[in-house]
Amino acid sequence: MPTLYYSRNPNPRLAVAVARYLDAPIRLEWAAPFHPDQAARFRALNPTRRIPILVEDDGAALWEADAIACRLAQLVGSDFWRQGRDQPDMIRWLSWGKGAFVQACDTVQFELGTKRRYHRHLAPDQTLIAEGLARFHEAAAILDRQLDGRDWLCGATPCHADFRMATFLPFNDIMRLPLADYPALNAWYDRLTAIPAWADPFDGLDAPDLPPIPA
């Protein structure tokens, strides 16, 4: 059975949410690839040592959350990774989202979340936060227009573009992005959080909490 190595950080969380939404036939295993005891093992699987990593039965390792989502959809024969005529539209939103909306959220989350969790000696950069917020508003307006009158980004059911676009939104208690300013976008995210696999992908798993953020 393939093994998906994960943590509670944003991209591993995304991969686990996809796996559980698809009910993929895999084993889920928490990992700390930057721990000295695990470094050599995970460097052999991914030269960056970053997770998620999916290791198949033949030992082949696949890394990067979007590639893993594609493979998981293949394993279960799901159109969560769109096929045929709908695939280019999904790829469009994946491509645009990672360079626009997702990147904007990542910038804010890194400054207010990652730095304070893992690099406490570094103060959040207020200039970068302001730039991230400006890009958020620009991208959110585009998404709000796309989602006006529709439930999901492309098609009648959720696809990987929806999950990818929302990668950092589970951390909005830290970022405090004004989703409510964009009603269609906000309603879309409410629908996404109604999906148990997205709302709590770690339910029942051995998944140590992220380091706390200092008050």
Whole-number Å distance between alpha carbons of 204 and 182:
33
CATH 1.20.1050.10, the chain: domain bounds: 84-196
- Residue 116: Cβ within 10 Å count: 18
Global pTM value: 0.95
CA atoms within 13 A on the CB side of 33: 23
3-state secondary structure of 202: coil
Residues 77-131 have pLDDT tens digits of 999 999 999 999 999 999 999 999 999 999 999 999 999 998 877 889 999 999 9
User: Percentage helix, strand, coil, to 5, in the chain?
Assistant: 55, 5, 40
Identify which of 62, 52, 48, 59 has the alpha carbon closest to the alpha carbon of residue 30: 52
Q: Where in the sequence of the chain do the CATH 3.40.30.10 domains occur?
A: 3-81
Q: What is d(CA 177, CA 105) in angstroms, rounded to the nearest whole number?
A: 8
Amino acid at 124: P
Q: What pLDDT sits at residue 188? A: 98
CATH architecture of 3-81: 3-Layer(aba) Sandwich (3.40)
The CATH fold of domain 84-196: Glutathione S-transferase Yfyf (Class Pi); Chain A, domain 2 (1.20.1050)
Segments of the chain with pLDDT less than 70: none
